[in-house]
Amino acid sequence: MERLVGKKAPDFKMATVLGNGEDFGNVSLEDYKGKWLVMFFYPLDFTFVCPTEITAYSDRYEDFQKAGAEVLGISVDSEHSHKAWINGDLGKLNFPLASDMTKSVARDYGVLLEEDGVALRGLFIIDPEGNVKYSVIHDLNVGRSVDETLRVLKALQTGGLCPVNWNEGEELL
């Protein structure tokens, strides 16, 4: 798989359910033009680690908004499965969940486990011009850190050289 960081983000169009668990919609990369996008893939609805991540990102959604970023969660489940999960165990969210039923978006972003038909935990930060600035992809068993995602987002937004463990307000190199 070719690296995505430093390149234009692969285009996408997917069906969604809004975080209210009621309304359906559609989403495309074009919808985020001029905004930062934190886009994350998770394996499946109704699983064990996924709800801990999704609700943690939802709980911090206001922090992403303050940083000028939108959040989008994606799995290979249908938007109807997402709706049932939101209205069941998951609860309301502050961002939409997108359906990659064809698995084409997961494949384009290099996170699809072809043999299992699910996505690895892939997270991508896309800048307002549609360029991939950050990606992290890891095994299914370990959830991601919302704090680290926000730290990296803010570091990227400085446009400068950020030393190890840099945090907002600290000096750049």
Q: Which residues are catalytic?
A: 50
Q: What is the 3-state secondary structure (H, E, C) of 51-68?
A: HHHHHHHHHCHHHHHHCC
Copy the structure tokens of residue 74: 């994606």
Report d(CA 28, CA 134) in Å as an integer: 19
Copy the structure tokens of residue 51: 């709800």
Across the chain, which distance is largest between two alpha carbons, in Å? 48
